[in-house]
Chain A
Amino acid sequence: MAHVNAALIGSGNIGTDLMCKALRSDCIQPVWMVGIDPASDGLAKARERGLKTTADGLDGLLPHLSKEGVRIAFDATSASVHQENARKLLAHGVVVIDLTPAAIGPYCVPPVNLSAHMGTHEMNVNMVSCGGQATIPIVAAVSRVQPVAYAEIVATVASRSAGPGTRKNIDEFTRTTANGIEKVGGALRGKAIIILNPAEPPLIMRDTIHCLTAGEPDREAIAASVREMILEVQKYVPGYTLKNGPVFDGRRVSVYLEVAGRGDYLPRYAGNLDIMTAAALRTGEMIAREIASGRFDPQPSTASASESLQ
């Protein structure tokens, strides 16, 4: 299949890890990386791998979008920067996969709802958060068996894997993840907790999911559903591993996971990076196939990103 050209906005941990994965894609060709720091390691890595780069932010890329045939952009900046980026890219008819917790567009957690996004031709799709990508599939695995009144997740990541964007926007992480637990996970109420642990050597990402089911949990059905979902996630994140559970305690169902990465940009401990970028790429590939086949032809729009999505 012909490759669809894509740009990576943001040259931090996430943008750079995503580039490594996108270069292996059979339908997406990363051609540009945008940063704001000329000395950033991500931009240097991008140039080494043959991408064009700019350190002037998104404005440094805009004049080149159409002649480079960029149809898809992955935004790995921060929630606050994304608002403006989304507007500019929409005006150029570029589909945006948003890896910040800005959440302008509808959420995509591939093993749960990628197929529901197919054919909708949204111009902005949001990837929730790393913790959301790691935990929402499990919430959905429980809620597809029976109603979940409340779901809560604890995502613990190595300090080294949390860049300045994540740190400045930690509230956006908890808010967006909680929202995703409800909207995509199917829990009536969601709560998210994030912990940055500085241990050396760095710990592999850990995720704990607590669901409170509305009625008595159907243990067998839930255990089977969780096992099935883990296999689904392992298709694109091989290091997604059940450590303990499901534990049943009254109406509480708890699942303990470890998420090891593939070690593309940061080492294997940074499973949080891996699950986010792998999910974003999977989403981007679905959109790229739609574009390559002619079913989807994104057009420029002057409407604000949020209006166009109503």
Chain B
Amino acid sequence: MNLRGRKVTLHDMCLRDGMHPKRHQISIGQMIAVAKGLDAAGVPLIEVTHGDGLGGASVNYGFPAHSDEEYLQAVIPQLDRAKVSALLLPGIGTVEHLRMAHACGIGTIRVATHCTEADVSEQHIALARKLELDTVGFLMMAHMIEPMQLVKQAKLMESYGANCIYCTDSAGYMLPDDVTARIGAFRDALKPETEIGFHGHHNLAMGIVNSLAAIEAGATRIDGSAAGLGAGAGNTPLEVFNAVCHRMEIETGVDVFKLMDVAEDLVVPMMDEPIRIDRDALILGYAGVYSSFLLFAKRASAKYGVPSSDILVEMGRMKTIGGQEDMIEDVALNLARERKAK
């Protein structure tokens, strides 16, 4: 694979997707320290939000240690070069949250929908463009539909005003050919000036190779997370991916050694549990289940005495999508009742 000279924007997720394994409890001090470290390493874009996006504070997804507004106001003024992005899932967050984040000084908004539901993002994408934000359409669980169906949804987001469209492998299910097919289809169908991005999860250890496949097929933005801190088995570990990029002479503008220091010295010590491909995370990737379900399934397993792997398999069988964390307790109760009946 020859990607020499390709320019790629790295987007760090550890302060947003990393909120999932941290149960949304990252402290303001940790946020600032990690964000400043990433900034100093040259990471151009850093996402800071509740794990489920703006307005995610809830019983269903978890109440965070601080509000989105507090995190954004604390982090943004501390950065020299890096811009901050926020995530917004219509149905959870609203345009009011978007206005708040804009007032805090974000540079990028990423409006995320399930891969078949792009038309719920029109209000939010249109407002973001009006506010002159870098506006990203983020199509989640993109493995669930065929590339040409995904293109239709991408074109909707583009038509609302998104200047960048993401293929998001929320379940860490995709293999490199799946990525190539989807990113390639985007590149063929979207306007030449529309950027394309890829967001990976590492549940099948495909984060790095999938991101390379994405670049080869035309992606110019790649998500990853320092030390991989993210839902499931984590995101594409950004310091590793950056090192691979340097070896392959892909231009990221990010210092290899400084980024590995951030990962090792700041992010790893924050972890409540090691981020690794344990059995449950592997099931997510193997069965195509939303990565954020992992900890909820582990907690329900402990409470109701049913294996977390059974819960996750059932969530996959039910074709649940991102945001349906409420079904985990429901499924666990059903499984516990079935066990008792036996």
Distance (whole angstroms) from the CB of B1 to the closest CB of chain A: 34
- Complex: how many Å from CA A171 to CA B60? 18
**Judging by beta carbons under 8 Å apart, are B323 and A170 in contact?**
no
Distance (whole angstroms) from the CB of A197 to the closest CB of chain B: 5
Decide if A55 is an interface residue (CB 8 Å cutoff). no
Distance (whole angstroms) from the CB of A187 to the closest CB of chain B: 12
As a 0/1 sequence over residues 323 to 342 of chain B, the CB contacts with chain A under 8 angstroms (1 = contact) are 11011011001100000000
**Judging by beta carbons under 8 Å apart, are B319 and A191 in contact?**
no
**Judging by beta carbons under 8 Å apart, are A195 and B323 in contact?**
yes
**Judging by beta carbons under 8 Å apart, are B59 and A252 in contact?**
yes
- Complex: how many Å from CA A159 to CA B120? 11
Closest to B90 in A: A170
**Judging by beta carbons under 8 Å apart, are A247 and B333 in contact?**
yes
- Complex: how many Å from CA A150 to CA B166? 35
- Complex: how many Å from CA A203 to CA B330? 15
- CB-CB < 8 A to B321: which residues of A? 195, 197-199
**Judging by beta carbons under 8 Å apart, are A210 and B59 in contact?**
yes
Task: Decide yes or no: A152 and B116 within 8 Å by CB, A196-B91, A244-B330 being known contacts.
Answer: no
Distance (whole angstroms) from the CB of B181 to the closest CB of chain A: 20
As a 0/1 sequence over residues 76 to 110 of chain B, the CB contacts with chain A under 8 angstroms (1 = contact) are 00000000000000111011100000000000000
**Judging by beta carbons under 8 Å apart, are B117 and A159 in contact?**
yes
- CB-CB < 8 A to A184: which residues of B? none
- CB-CB < 8 A to A175: which residues of B? 94
**Judging by beta carbons under 8 Å apart, are A174 and B91 in contact?**
yes
Give the interface SS of chain A, mostly helix, strand, loop or mixed: strand
Distance (whole angstroms) from the CB of A201 to the closest CB of chain B: 10
Query: Interface residues of B, CB < 8 Å — how many?
Result: 29
**Judging by beta carbons under 8 Å apart, are A159 and B330 in contact?**
no
Centre residue among A150, A169, A198 by max chain B CB count within 10 A: A198
Query: Interface residues of A, CB < 8 Å — how many?
Result: 34
As a 0/1 sequence over residues 180 to 213 of chain A, the CB contacts with chain B under 8 angstroms (1 = contact) are 0000000000010111111100010010101010
Task: Decide yes or no: A254 and B329 within 8 Å by CB, A193-B58, A194-B91, A195-B324 being known contacts.
Answer: yes
Task: Decide yes or no: A171 and B59 within 8 Å by CB, A156-B324, A195-B324 being known contacts.
Answer: no
- CB-CB < 8 A to A212: which residues of B? 59
- CB-CB < 8 A to B143: which residues of A? none
- CB-CB < 8 A to A152: which residues of B? 58-60
Decide if A168 is an interface residue (CB 8 Å cutoff). yes
Decide if A243 is an interface residue (CB 8 Å cutoff). yes
Distance (whole angstroms) from the CB of A157 to the closest CB of chain B: 10
Task: Decide yes or no: A197 and B94 within 8 Å by CB, A208-B330, A244-B330 being known contacts.
Answer: no
As a 0/1 sequence over residues 121 to 132 of chain B, the CB contacts with chain A under 8 angstroms (1 = contact) are 011100000000
Decide if A73 is an interface residue (CB 8 Å cutoff). no
**Judging by beta carbons under 8 Å apart, are B334 and A244 in contact?**
yes
Q: A169-B123, A252-B59 are in contact. List 6 more A-B contacts (CB 8 A).
A: A154-B323, A171-B96, A195-B323, A198-B114, A244-B330, A244-B333
Residues of B within 8 A of A (CB): 58-60, 90-92, 94-96, 114, 116-117, 119-120, 122-124, 318-321, 323-324, 326-327, 329-330, 333-334
7 A-B residue contacts at CB 8 Å? A154-B326, A174-B91, A195-B91, A196-B114, A197-B319, A198-B114, A198-B117
